[in-house]
């Protein structure tokens, strides 16, 4: 099944790259900037944000597991997990080349144990991320690409009780550093970003693992309305801690898949979606793992000043 997904994704991309649509896009979209990444964990890579502009973004992810994994091997189907994750983001341009972003997640997760018959629902609000971004290089001013740096942290805003999931948020403080790059050539755009996050111990004596992420996106504007592309997100999480003791549960995941985006210029909106499948997985402890992720993103901008 997974091989069919990868083959169909490859064929889809090759056909679009070498079809007449490509040359048509070159003619129709010379003044169009291809859209940003759409998956929930991606940021804006290297592009700066205009002063006085506010954007509101809603991300949604739906994911289902295909059982429990250890290392990169499936162990059994004893546990099934379904995730519904919403993310609310705001971004505001404070000064030319300097902006601030916030991000708060909301989640509903269902855990079904096929061996015991139990069926549990967990929902809550995650901790809020606040990030300041500074432009370092600007391709429009002669640099080879856009580059921006991030510095920020996590605020303890999560809901915490016996029905919430600590790994999704447990009123922990944290810090974040990031670096993003964007290269635009004609109707094509490549985004690359790296970030690192570390956390303090939060409620339930739980401490999130140190987190490393690398997100990569290729996007092509087919015309003034439609974008197509591919997205990839890699994440490594070290072991989490409970009451100061390491849990030996580090994870490494790499997901990728095709994306599509639509510009609605008169409403200053961008809507995109991606379907992502596992390329590589490695788990130090037995862990439920997503067999696919459906990502949806909607962005609306406002000119305030």
Is the pLDDT higher at 29 or at 215?
Answer: 215
What architecture is domain 2-303?
Beta Barrel (2.40)
Is the pLDDT higher at 6 or at 45?
Answer: 45
Strands 206-207 and 188-199: unpaired
Condensed to tens digits (0 to 9), the pLDDT of residues 92-141 reads: 999 999 999 999 999 999 999 988 888 999 999 999 999 999 999 999 99
Q: How far apart are CA 173 and CA 159, in angstroms?
A: 14
- Please, where are the H alpha helices in 65-134? none
Instruction: Answer yes or no: is pLDDT of 305 > 60.
Output: yes
Once rounded to an integer, what is the mean pLDDT over residues 287-299? Answer: 97
pLDDT score for 30: 55
Using the structure block, give the residue that is written with the tokens 């739980």.
206
Backbone φ, ψ for residue 203 (5° rounding):
-65, 165
User: How many helices (DSSP H) and strands (DSSP E) are in the chain?
Assistant: 2, 16
How much is the pTM?
0.89
pLDDT score for 66: 79
- List C-alpha distances in Å: 282 to 50, 70, 99, 207, 294: 40, 7, 36, 21, 21
Percent of the chain with pLDDT over 70: 90
Instruction: Answer yes or no: is pLDDT of 26 > 70.
Output: no
Once rounded to an integer, what is the mean pLDDT over residues 41-51? Answer: 93
- Answer for the pair 172, 199: CB distance below 8 angstroms, yes or no: yes
Instruction: Answer yes or no: is pLDDT of 85 > 80.
Output: yes
């Amino acid at each position: 099944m997974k091989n069919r997904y990868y083959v169909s994704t490859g064929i889809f991309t090759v056909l679009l790259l070498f079809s007449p649509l490509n040359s048509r896009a070159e003619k129709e979209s010379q003044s169009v900037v291809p859209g940003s990444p759409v998956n929930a964990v991606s940021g804006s890579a290297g592009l700066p944000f205009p002063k006085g502009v506010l954007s509101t973004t809603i991300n949604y992810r739906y994911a289902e597991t295909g059982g429990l994994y250890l290392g990169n091997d499936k162990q059994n189907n004893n546990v099934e997990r379904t995730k519904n994750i919403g993310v609310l983001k705001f971004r505001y341009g404070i000064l030319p080349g300097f902006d601030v972003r916030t991000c708060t997640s909301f989640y509903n997760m269902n855990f079904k144990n096929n061996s015991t018959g139990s069926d549990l629902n967990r929902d809550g609000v995650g901790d809020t991320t606040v990030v300041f971004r500074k432009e370092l290089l600007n391709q429009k001013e002669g640099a080879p690409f856009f580059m921006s740096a991030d510095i920020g942290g996590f605020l303890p805003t999560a809901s915490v009780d016996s029905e919430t999931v600590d790994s999704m948020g447990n009123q922990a403080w944290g810090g974040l550093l990031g670096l993003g790059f964007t290269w635009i050539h004609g109707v094509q755009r490549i985004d690359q970003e790296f970030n690192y996050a570390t956390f303090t111990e939060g409620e339930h004596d739980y401490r999130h693992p140190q987190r490393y992420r690398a997100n990569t996106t290729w996007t092509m504007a087919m015309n003034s309305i439609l974008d197509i592309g591919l997205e990839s997100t890699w994440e490594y999480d070290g072991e989490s801690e409970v009451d100061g003791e390491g849990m030996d549960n580090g994870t490494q995941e790499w997901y990728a898949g095709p994306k599509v985006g639509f510009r609605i210029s008169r409403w200053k909106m961008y809507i995109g979606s991606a379907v992502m499948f596992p390329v590589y997985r490695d788990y130090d402890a037995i862990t439920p793992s997503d067999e696919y992720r459906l990502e949806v993103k909607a962005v609306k901008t406002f000119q305030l000043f």
